[in-house]
Chain A
Amino acid sequence: MPLYEIRYIDWEKAIMSYKFYKDEHHHIQIDIKQYRELDYYLMYFIYIRWAISMFIVISGFLTPFIEYFSHIQNVIVILIGMGLFILNSVYYLIKKKFKKTLSDEQNWKLFSVQIFFDFLTIFLLNIDLVYFESLFILFYTFHISISTVFTKRKISFVICIVACIMASAPIILVYTGIIPYVDIMKLSYITLLPMIKFTSLLVIFISGLWVYFIAIWFISSELNKNINIREIEMRVQNEKLISIDREKNKLTMRATHELKAPFAAIKSYLFILRDGYCGEISDKAQEVILKMIDRCDQLTSKITDVIRLSNLKTSIFHNEDFKHIDIVPILSDISEELKKIGYLRNITILADIPVREIIIRGNTEQIKTLLMNVMLNAINYSHDNGIVQVMIEVMQKYIVISIRDEGIGIREEDLDKIFDEYFRSKEAVAYHNNGSGLGLSIVREIIYLHGGEIDMESTPGKGTQFNIILFYN
């Protein structure tokens, strides 16, 4: 037994049905159904159109018996009604036969055709009745409203323009004298059926107005209710996604800890051996210990890279994850830190970083990772005694951070692969065996998340320059 049900129209013009019910354990469950009910509404219009076409045909037969409608060519009215009936039947058959195969696009195109012929019917009736001050104009607005819901914006605009032309045409025809003008208000006291007083034209017109406005209100409020429900639903789904993402991040951190902690203990013991806390060791043993420490570093680095990349690819980043940050101290700190690594191979880091603030919008930790990865690459693949240059160029809407090395460079055929996961060129592997192959993949993901760009120039044997573009907003 459902507790309650929500139905609404979603972007794809399908109806979603959410039934909340309790299972045998009294837990609230959601039963979600998605089915196309655009058909339902379109069929609904077909039924209404049949009713209207029958009404027009019957009116055509009755008008000769009402004195003041004698100017109306009732044959034309009957023909218009029958034409509408036949067209409507064609729509009906098409819908029935191709119900399961008609795509959304075909559906709304068919609907647009129906609207066009409805307009033609209204126009012809308006001309024939020569009452351009009639309620028929309201049918145009009704169709325009419906078309804004069920068709694309451009199509509904075209429908609107067609309605403008068809609604204006009788006025112009009366003005130019092509069709005669009849003052509707002079006929308003006439009763269609003399024995029943309330069948006067005035009463019928006013009643028609009431019916029309209430119909418009009903349809608009139904749609509005559906849109509100959909907005609430989207907000709920969004919060759920954010919560799942936070949970995923917690699990990622846990996984990182579980994988890195054992290596931390191993390295700690190796430090103890290396530094003689357990007594003096031979040079050979020292050498072995240093290699073991190095391999531990490689492994933990790879673990971090794999988890980091996986996290970047699957995370949902929200506005609050990005803040206004000053890139200058970040770049300065990383340069200083890497100078210690460069020092071991006599590689000089020349950082041309301005003293003033340069504020961009980003995630601090990710920006640090991005810059660290690119700069570390520059050092790792530099020749000994080389220079790594770091520069910032400030443009109107963005900044360009350039990192240039005088290293082994990248071959042209490898340039479009270097951001691929686990890709390492033969030269890179030969020169620096320890890379994970994920550093630049991580760089690419971070730049993508920040809406930035990266490009590079490289000459094998001479060096590489990376240009990172980050926007202020």
Chain B
Amino acid sequence: MKKKILIIDDDRDFVESIKIILEKDYEVEVRYTTEYLIKNIKLINPDAIILDVMFPDDPDAGFTAAQLIAGDKETSRIPIAILSAVNQMSNLALPFSNDDAGHEFMPVWEFVEKPVEPKKLHDLIKTLLRS
């Protein structure tokens, strides 16, 4: 049975391109907003989540979503990767990171800048699914 990947991103073109890359090896579900986030995640029950950061109504929606997912008992086990057009690494401290520079703690496993090469995307998903 194929593993299920949930992509949450408002950019429909980008989501479509990612879907094309992944759908051969994975079952891909898509949401374009973070509305009813936890409800949707529980419904879909993905094995990994790819999350954008900036949404039209909230520039930090992705960070907020990651914290909500990590805060819920049922969804906290799901690994999250953030994909963003803006390199916001300096604002994050990833779990299991040795970064003690006082960055804001963010419960995501990987942070990748868009666009991402197909091979790198596949490697990213494998890393998420192994964790």
Given contacts A271-B118, A325-B101, contact A261 B20 (CB under 8 A): no
Q: How many A-B residue pairs have CB under 8 A?
A: 63
Q: Which residues in B have their C-beta under 8 angstroms from that of A275?
A: 118
- The contact string, 1 if C-beta is below 8 Å from chain A, for chain B 106-131, is 00000000111110000000000000
The chain B residue sitting closest to A297, CB to CB, is: B115
Q: Which residues in B have their C-beta under 8 angstroms from that of A263?
A: 115
Q: Which residues in B have their C-beta under 8 angstroms from that of A267?
A: 115
Q: Which residues in B have their C-beta under 8 angstroms from that of A339?
A: none
The chain B residue sitting closest to A324, CB to CB, is: B101
Q: Which residues in B have their C-beta under 8 angstroms from that of A269?
A: 13, 17
Report the minimal beta-carbon distance from A269 to chain B, rounded to whole angstroms: 5
Asked if A107 lies at the interface with its beta carbon under 8 angstroms from chain B, I say: no
The chain A residue sitting closest to B103, CB to CB, is: A364
Asked if A395 lies at the interface with its beta carbon under 8 angstroms from chain B, I say: no
Interface of B is mostly: loop
Near A by CB (< 8 A), chain B positions 17-43 give 17-18, 20-21
- The contact string, 1 if C-beta is below 8 Å from chain B, for chain A 236-273, is 00000000000000100110110011011101110110
Asked if B90 lies at the interface with its beta carbon under 8 angstroms from chain A, I say: yes
Cβ–Cβ contact B85 & A264, under 8 A: yes
Asked if B94 lies at the interface with its beta carbon under 8 angstroms from chain A, I say: no
Cβ–Cβ contact B101 & A268, under 8 A: no
Asked if A153 lies at the interface with its beta carbon under 8 angstroms from chain B, I say: no
Q: Which residues in A have their C-beta under 8 angstroms from that of B102?
A: 323
| Assembly CA distance A260 to B84 (angstroms) | 10
Cβ–Cβ contact B117 & A253, under 8 A: no
Report the minimal beta-carbon distance from B120 to chain A, rounded to whole angstroms: 10
B contact set with A: CB distance below 8 Å = 11, 13-14, 17-18, 20-21, 54, 59, 84-86, 88-90, 101-102, 114-118
Q: List 25 A-B contacts (CB under 8 A).
A: A250-B59, A254-B59, A256-B85, A257-B54, A257-B59, A257-B84, A260-B114, A261-B14, A261-B85, A261-B114, A263-B115, A264-B11, A264-B14, A265-B11, A265-B13, A265-B14, A265-B17, A267-B115, A268-B17, A268-B116, A269-B13, A272-B118, A275-B118, A325-B101, A364-B101
Considering the complex of A and B, which 4 residue pairs feature the smallest CB-CB distances, nearest first?
A268-B17, A264-B114, A265-B13, A267-B115
